[in-house]
Amino acid sequence: MSVIALRVTTAELAHLASGNVEQRQIALKGVSEDLSGPLTEITRNNRRKLTLGGCFEFVLGDRSALWRAHNQAAAEDFDALFELLALRPDREFRCLCSIE
């Protein structure tokens, strides 16, 4: 499996102070080399599935972030991951993943 680093930034937390949870995003950083090709193909109109740790599935519609708005079907999982990462803003969390 490939590796990706995720983080919630302090700037993102400040932006969310308005209360709009649909704008939550988790930044993608430090992707392993084998993901760089598939990641460049991702656009708003060409979404892909990102599976984290062989367990959690999210929709990628952006090359640089996971957006809650793209993940309505997995909103509960997205929110849990966001809240976990928000405990340590700007710190990268590395995990195994795959992109389909």
Cα gap 63→40, rounded to integer Å: 7
Give the mean pLDDT of the chain. 90
> Band of the pLDDT at 43, cuts 50, 70, 90?
confident
Q: Note down the domain range covering 81.
A: 2-99
DSSP of 12-61 = HHHHGGG--GGG-EEEEE---GGGHHHHHT-BTTB-EEEEETTTEEEEE-
Q: How many domains, the chain?
A: 1
Average pLDDT over residues 32-54: 87
Average pLDDT over residues 69-88: 96
> Band of the pLDDT at 58, cuts 50, 70, 90?
very high
Cα gap 100→90, rounded to integer Å: 27
